[in-house]
């Protein structure tokens, strides 16, 4: 079990390749079947239950590329380290892995998974694939999403959102039309400055995307970068309207005023993860955990005490979530560790 953790891959990879000798960083963590699961970028998958003293490794035929949790259990997409591509979608059933779908197109590599209300969505370098109740449909992407799809995904009936984390090089947010395959870049720079917000593709890595509890047609994205300082915010996207939802200025209380211009805001808390659990959003900040049940109303709590198991610092103490400490970007000038939250 590797002890080094990261919420997303540390550097950009070639579009259709896997790292040959990558460090082991966690790219996904979900809770399913009463267990916490972590996936590293080397394709290794491990799990642990509350009260266990060690992690349990999983053996699958090929490296795991992504995982997501459905109401009926854990789903994983695997793919061989091959120039020919290929993928297999597997569902965990009674401690076994059952194949439910497989790729048949040459040179197709899996990028990421998202599970929502029984619908499993797989994005590859070529297609957006929807799998529901054993039926599979797909649409070819009009253009490629980018050099690396990060670990942030959300989908509804009409669109699939992809958040990209390129660390200090930004990343930003893409929206894919499920019916046409067209890809739009969502961004807004109201100040016109180099890294002005609220959403800047060149400067803002995206670490989470979820549906807004207070509006059916809106999503919330978490921005967070810890490199030579910090900046971050929560951003609300409703159609083509993009607004800053929440930030915390470093050195100010969590209920600080929210109307400071981006040019005067100064360093802000970097948000390394964002999830939705029931009627609440949970955001992991560099300085603690933030919960939002109503638009703009935030409850703050410091990080819990952690238990170190096989080199992984984690806590089951907070109701409804699990907290891990991770290294979100591996570099000498980045902060050493960041929290990652998982709904359970």
**Segment 67-111, tens digit of pLDDT:** 999 988 899 999 988 788 899 999 999 889 999 999 989 999 999
- At residue 5, the pLDDT reads 37
Residue 225, φ and ψ in degrees, nearest 5: -140, 125
Terminal alpha carbon distance of the chain: 22
Instruction: Indicate the class that CATH gives domain 26-343.
Output: mainly beta
| pTM value > 0.75 | yes
- Residue 273's DSSP bridge partners are 284
Query: Mean of the per-residue pLDDT values for the chain?
Result: 84
- At residue 263, the pLDDT reads 59
170: left (phi over 0), alpha (psi -120 to 50) or beta: left
CB neighbours of residue 184 within 10 Å? 12
- At residue 148, the pLDDT reads 56
Per-residue pLDDT tens for 285-331?
Answer: 988 999 999 888 899 999 999 999 988 889 999 989 999 987 644 44
Q: Please provide the DSSP assignment of 203-245 as one string.
A: T--EEEEEE-TT-TTEEEEEEEEEBSSEEEEEEEEETTEEEEE
Of 98-112, 192-206, 248-262, the one with minimum mean pLDDT is: 248-262
Of 143-147, 216-220, 289-293, the one with minimum mean pLDDT is: 143-147
Strands across the sheet with 230-238, in order? 206-211, 218-226, 230-238, 241-246
């Amino acid at each position: 079990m590797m002890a080094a953790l990261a919420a997303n891959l540390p550097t950009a990879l070639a579009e259709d390749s896997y790292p040959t000798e990558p460090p082991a960083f966690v790219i996904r963590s979900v809770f399913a079947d009463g267990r916490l699961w972590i996936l590293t970028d080397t394709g290794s998958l491990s799990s642990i239950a509350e009260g266990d003293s060690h992690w349990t490794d999983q053996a699958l035929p090929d490296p795991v590329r992504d995982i997501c949790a459905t109401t009926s259990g854990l789903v994983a997409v695997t793919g061989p380290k091959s120039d020919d591509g290929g993928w297999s979608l597997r569902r965990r059933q009674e401690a076994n892995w059952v194949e439910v779908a497989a790729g048949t197109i040459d040179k197709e590599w899996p990028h990421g998974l998202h599970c929502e209300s029984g619908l499993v969505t797989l994005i590859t370098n070529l297609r957006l694939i929807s799998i529901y109740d054993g039926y599979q449909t797909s649409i070819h992407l009009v253009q490629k999403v980018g050099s690396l799809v990060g670990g942030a995904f959300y989908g509804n009936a009409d669109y699939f959102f992809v958040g990209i984390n390129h660390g200090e090089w930004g990343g930003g947010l893409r929206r894919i039309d499920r019916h046409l395959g067209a890809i739009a870049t969502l961004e807004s720079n109201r100040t016109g400055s180099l890294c002005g917000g609220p959403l800047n593709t060149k400067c803002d890595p995206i670490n989470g995307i979820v549906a807004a509890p207070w509006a059916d047609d809106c999503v919330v994205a978490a921005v967070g970068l810890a490199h030579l300082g910090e900046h971050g915010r929560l951003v609300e996207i409703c159609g083509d309207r993009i607004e800053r939802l929440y930030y915390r200025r470093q050195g100010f209380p969590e209920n600080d005023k929210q109307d400071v211009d981006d040019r005067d805001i100064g360093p802000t808390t970097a948000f390394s993860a964002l999830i939705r659990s029931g009627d609440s959003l949970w955001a992991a900040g560099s300085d603690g955990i933030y919960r939002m049940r109503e638009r703009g109303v935030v409850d703050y709590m410091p990080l819990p005490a952690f238990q170190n198991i096989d080199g992984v610092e984690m806590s089951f103490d907070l109701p409804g979530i699990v907290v891990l400490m991770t290294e979100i970007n591996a570099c000498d000038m980045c902060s050493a560790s960041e929290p990652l939250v998982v709904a359970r």
